[in-house]
Amino acid sequence: MADRPLSPHLQIWKWGPHMLVSILHRVTGDGMALVGLPVMLWWLGSLASGPEAYAAFQGHAMSWYGLIVMFGLSWAFFNHLCSGLRHFVLDMGAGFELNSNRNWSVGSIACALILTVAFWAAMIAL
């Protein structure tokens, strides 16, 4: 057997935005599952438990650490959404050219940031 890897490894591949988007897609999916689901269940449970329980949830959610978690979850959602749309286009067989793939990757990250800021601007305006 040869003393070389069977497939290209990190020493060969040049880091690019498509790699970042792919990694972030996995991380945001896991983050929404591991953090978002318990937060959503806590929110639903506090809604069902009455005004005191909901006030306790709201107190945590509106604190500085709660806002960081909520902002992070909203960014994770929008990033996963935009990245998923990018993957959908790739699954159709389009966007594999280097420049197109790079532009879709950068656009995916930028769109997620813009949507997150717009969402929080709308939430604050309410």
pLDDT tens-place string over residues 55-104: 999 999 999 999 999 999 999 999 999 999 999 999 998 888 989 999 99
15, burial (CB in 10 Å: exposed 0-12, middle 13-18, buried 19+): exposed
The residue count of the chain comes to 126
Per the annotation, binding residues are 80
- d(CA 21, CA 83) in angstroms, rounded, equals 7
φ, ψ of residue 109 in degrees (nearest 5): -65, -45
Per the annotation, binding residues for heme are 80
Q: Which residue has the higher pLDDT, 39 or 7?
A: 39
- Is residue 6 very low, low, confident or very high in pLDDT (cuts 50, 70, 90)? low
CA dihedral 40, 43, 44, 49 (to 10 degrees): 160
Q: What integer pLDDT is reported at residue 13 of this predicted model?
A: 73
Q: What integer pLDDT is reported at residue 22 of this predicted model?
A: 92
Residue 104, domain member (yes or no) = yes
| Mean local confidence (pLDDT), 107-112 | 96
Residues 6+ away with beta carbon under 8 Å from 57: 42, 43, 46
User: Could you give the angle at the alpha carbon of 122 between the alpha carbons of 119 and 123, nearest 5°?
Assistant: 85
- d(CA 117, CA 126) in angstroms, rounded, equals 14
Q: What integer pLDDT is reported at residue 50 of this predicted model?
A: 96
For the chain, the domain total comes to 1
Residue 16, domain member (yes or no) = no
| Total-model pTM | 0.86
Of 15, 19, 22, whose CA–CA distance to 79 is shortest?
22
Residue 18, domain member (yes or no) = no
Residue 81, domain member (yes or no) = yes
Residue 24, domain member (yes or no) = no
Q: What integer pLDDT is reported at residue 126 of this predicted model?
A: 85
Residue 2, domain member (yes or no) = no
Domain span at residue 91 reads 64-126
Q: What integer pLDDT is reported at residue 95 of this predicted model?
A: 85
What is the per-residue pLDDT across 14-47, written as a single tens digit (0 to 9) for each? Answer: 788 989 999 999 999 999 999 999 999 999 999 9
Residue 50, domain member (yes or no) = no
Q: How far is CA 91 from the centre of its chain?
A: 19
Question: What SS3 class is residue 91?
Answer: helix
